[in-house]
């Protein structure tokens, strides 16, 4: 029902929500009450998916400080913010170099990115026992890691990036199994280096600094962008020869930050890239 083959995002956009709210607002303005309050409640002046009301909320700030401590630099109304909530399984990490590179790249483009390392690590065995080790079990299954472990206050305001060791099976070492990719016949037996469902992603840990930075930026960028098969695109969504995005991709990225807020009502199932690149091919 939501679906069309085109490239645009079929979710109700913020603009649409605002438009319908302003209609409701102008109607209720006639009777006098409620419109101002209502439109304030959904205003997102910087289009990053974090509502102005949340950015102004001392309670919200305190809750984030309570979880992440000094790492949290606060949010500012009128400034596009991107919160990167990183969760580590076992002894995994993202190197300071990769974090710096990504923050610098993103801030150069006018987006205030912040890494928020979740303070506790997850035990690999406990995660495997409870959720399994597949993309489904981690990101999108009914009782997935995402749905069970991520605090409600952080859902739809931050991008959750899960870092896992990846499988130890020789042929697929350092990768993660995805049912979708397997059904598509992609990757070595459905194993991938990372996977994104827009406002949540998983990567397998990488030792090589370039590989790590390229992979992490790639999965973060999927918040908004799909793969690009243009050979001229040397950034992480194209040939991945450099840890970068093309100028036009930065524009798209900045304009799509509000994807961090899932408004489908169908959880992640109808994310545009997923539809374009995976589901449509399966159903054809
Ligand atoms: Zn990708």
108 CA distance to ligand 1 middle (Å): 23
253 CA distance to ligand 1 middle (Å): 15
Q: 49 vs 18, which has greater pLDDT?
A: 49
Query: Cβ atoms within 10 A of the Cβ of 39, count?
Result: 14
Query: How far apart (Å, rounded) are the C-alpha atoms in residues 276 and 284?
Result: 11
Residue 218: predicted pLDDT: 97
250 CA distance to ligand 1 middle (Å): 16
61 CA distance to ligand 1 middle (Å): 32
236 CA distance to ligand 1 middle (Å): 9
Contacts with 215 (C-beta within 8 Å, 6 or more apart), sequence order: 193, 194, 203, 206
Which class for 110: exposed (0-12), middle (13-18), buried (19 or more C-beta within 10 A)?
exposed
- Sign of the Cα pseudo-torsion (154, 218, 17, 265, in order): negative
pLDDT digits (tens, 9 = 90+) for 214-243: 999 999 999 999 999 999 999 999 999 999
212 CA distance to ligand 1 middle (Å): 14
Mean pLDDT of 170-193: 84
57 CA distance to ligand 1 middle (Å): 35
65 CA distance to ligand 1 middle (Å): 31
Instruction: Indicate the length of the chain as a whole number.
Output: 284
pTM for this entry: 0.82
67 CA distance to ligand 1 middle (Å): 29
16 CA distance to ligand 1 middle (Å): 28
273 CA distance to ligand 1 middle (Å): 9
- Which has the closest alpha carbon to 195: 223, 155, 154? 223
219 CA distance to ligand 1 middle (Å): 6
Q: Which three-class secondary structure state does DSSP give residue 13?
A: coil
Residue found by looking up tokens 């409640």 in the block: 41
Among 16-30, 207-221, 244-258, whose mean pLDDT is lowest?
16-30
Query: How far apart (Å, rounded) are the C-alpha atoms in residues 114 and 110?
Result: 13
How far, in Å, are 54, 225, 250, 254 from residue 247 at the CA level?
30, 13, 5, 11
- Which has the closest alpha carbon to 13: 199, 259, 229? 259
- Which has the closest alpha carbon to 200: 126, 144, 120? 144
4 CA distance to ligand 1 middle (Å): 21
128 CA distance to ligand 1 middle (Å): 24
180 CA distance to ligand 1 middle (Å): 13
33 CA distance to ligand 1 middle (Å): 47
- Which has the closest alpha carbon to 135: 225, 223, 200, 213? 200
190 CA distance to ligand 1 middle (Å): 14
**Vertex 112, ends 106 and 115: CA angle to 5°?**
85
For residues 164 and 205, the answer to whether their CB atoms sit within 8 Å is yes
How far, in Å, are 49, 51, 53, 217, 223 from residue 78 at the CA level?
12, 10, 12, 24, 20
Summary mean pLDDT of the chain = 84
32 CA distance to ligand 1 middle (Å): 49
| Domains of the chain, CATH where assigned | 77-283 (3.40.390.10)
169 confidence band (pLDDT: 50, 70, 90): confident
217 CA distance to ligand 1 middle (Å): 10
pLDDT digits (tens, 9 = 90+) for 66-75: 999 999 999 9
215 CA distance to ligand 1 middle (Å): 9
Query: How far apart (Å, rounded) are the C-alpha atoms in residues 92 and 90?
Result: 6
Q: Largest alpha-carbon pair distance within the chain? A: 69
Mean pLDDT of 86-104: 98
Query: How far apart (Å, rounded) are the C-alpha atoms in residues 85 and 63?
Result: 14
């Amino acid at each position: 029902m939501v679906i069309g083959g085109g490239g645009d995002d079929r979710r109700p956009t913020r603009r649409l929500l605002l438009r319908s709210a302003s209609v409701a607002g102008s109607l209720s303005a006639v009777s006098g009450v409620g419109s101002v309050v209502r439109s304030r409640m959904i205003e997102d002046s910087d289009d990053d998916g974090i509502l102005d009301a949340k950015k102004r909320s001392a309670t919200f700030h305190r809750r984030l400080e309570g979880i992440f401590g000094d790492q949290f630099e606060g949010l500012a109304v009128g400034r596009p913010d991107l919160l990167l909530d990183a969760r580590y399984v076992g002894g995994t990490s993202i190197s300071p170099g990769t974090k710096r590179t990504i923050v610098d790249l993103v801030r150069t483009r006018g987006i205030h990115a912040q890494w928020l390392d979740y303070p506790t690590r997850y035990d690999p065995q406990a995660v495997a026992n409870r959720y399994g080790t597949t993309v489904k079990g981690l990101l999108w299954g009914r009782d997935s890691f995402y749905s069970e472990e991520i605090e409600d206050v952080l859902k739809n305001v931050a991008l959750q990036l899960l870092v896992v060791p990846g499988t130890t099976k020789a042929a697929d070492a350092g990768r993660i199994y995805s049912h979708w990719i397997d059904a598509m016949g992609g990757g070595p037996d459905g194993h991938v280096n990372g996977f994104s469902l827009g406002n949540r992603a998983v990567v397998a840990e990488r030792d090589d600094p370039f590989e790590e930075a390229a992979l992490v930026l790639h999965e973060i960028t999927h918040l908004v962008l799909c793969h690009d098969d243009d050979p001229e695109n040397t950034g992480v969504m194209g040939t991945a020869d450099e840890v970068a995005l093309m100028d036009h991709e930065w524009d798209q990225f900045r304009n799509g930050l509000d994807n961090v807020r899932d408004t489908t009502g169908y959880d992640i199932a109808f994310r545009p890239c997923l539809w374009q690149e995976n589901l449509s091919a399966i159903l054809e």
